């Protein structure tokens, strides 16, 4: 979900790895200001829907990957349908409303959710393996009614290589979850301070009072 700064590198690694079917959802068109970090796009593609430009770039890399391109905003119904149809969800969006829609759908359908965020010099990656009953959800960490200041890259800017690192880490976690390899970041929040080149991991527990996942 989201074919921007995080979705571009994440989908490149997934397609290159041979993940058989990818669904890309994004309502935007390629803009000149995207090219600094959204590495699937080229100057000649400005004005093209992102999901179309992304599909042709990914298929140029691996023609055998089946790519569904959805050029629309994700509402509740679309989130439910898309999550139910796919094995795993990467949240590469930049707004809390969509993040919470995806989280609710992943809780309901027990799908692993690999969430990434990058703004200015700060990056974070989280995995919510909602196949596990004791897994926290996105809302345990960032409640839906919480006071969050919405900051977006289009307004605040982001250090371009940071989006590559976060997106590639999301692809790494997604491939591990799909293949059942190793230990995922589930229950942990990975924080990267790019200015200090400092990585930290913070444990996240399921909130027993979480209105989204506690009763499911
Ligand atoms: Zn929760």
Distance 138 CA to ligand 1 centre (A): 6
Distance 152 CA to ligand 1 centre (A): 24
Element at 126 (helix H, strand E): strand 122-129
Distance 129 CA to ligand 1 centre (A): 12
Residue among 192, 211, 194 nearest 202 (CA): 192
Element at 12 (helix H, strand E): helix 7-17
pLDDT of residue 153: 66
* 23 Cβ neighbours under 8 A, 6+ residues apart: 67, 68, 70, 82, 85, 86
Distance 149 CA to ligand 1 centre (A): 20
Distance 75 CA to ligand 1 centre (A): 20
- Average pLDDT of span 140-164: 84
- Average pLDDT of span 180-197: 96
> What is the CB neighbour count within 10 angstroms for residue 1?
26
The overall average pLDDT reported for the chain is: 95
Distance 72 CA to ligand 1 centre (A): 27
Burial class for 90, CB neighbours closer than 10 Å (0-12, 13-18, 19+) = buried
Distance 186 CA to ligand 1 centre (A): 13
- Average pLDDT of span 86-102: 95
Distance 64 CA to ligand 1 centre (A): 37
Distance 108 CA to ligand 1 centre (A): 11
pLDDT of residue 159: 96
pLDDT of residue 215: 67
- Average pLDDT of span 164-184: 97
pLDDT single digits (tens) 1-53:
999 999 999 999 999 999 999 999 999 999 999 999 999 999 999 999 999 99
CA distance 3 to 178: 20
Q: What are phi and psi of 32, to 5 degrees?
A: -55, -40
Distance 137 CA to ligand 1 centre (A): 4
User: 195 versus 155: which is more confidently predicted?
Assistant: 195
pLDDT single digits (tens) 97-107:
999 999 999 99
Element at 75 (helix H, strand E): none
User: 189 versus 145: which is more confidently predicted?
Assistant: 189
pTM: 0.95
pLDDT of residue 155: 72
């Amino acid at each position: 979900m989201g074919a921007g700064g995080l979705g571009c590198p994440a989908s490149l690694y997934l397609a290159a790895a041979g993940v058989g079917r990818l669904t890309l959802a994004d309502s935007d068109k390629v803009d000149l200001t995207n090219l600094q970090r959204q590495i699937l796009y080229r100057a000649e593609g400005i004005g093209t829907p992102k999901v179309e430009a992304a599909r042709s770039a990914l298929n140029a890399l691996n023609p055998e990957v089946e790519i569904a391109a959805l050029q629309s905003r994700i509402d509740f119904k679309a989130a439910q349908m898309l999550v139910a149809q796919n094995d795993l969800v990467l949240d590469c969006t930049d707004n809390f409303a969509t993040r919470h829609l995806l989280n609710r759908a992943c809780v309901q359908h027990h799908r692993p959710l690999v969430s990434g965020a990058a703004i200015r010099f700060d990056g974070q990656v989280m995995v919510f393996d909602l196949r596990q009953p004791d897994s926290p959800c996105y809302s345990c960490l960032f409640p839906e009614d919480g006071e969050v200041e919405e900051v977006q890259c289009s307004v605040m800017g982001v250090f371009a290589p940071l989006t590559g690192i976060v997106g590639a880490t999301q692809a790494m976690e997604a491939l591990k979850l799909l293949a059942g390899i190793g230990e995922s970041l589930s229950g942990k929040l990975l924080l990267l301070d790019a200015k200090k080149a400092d990585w930290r991991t913070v444990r996240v527990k399921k909130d027993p009072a979480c209105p989204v996942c506690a009763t499911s």
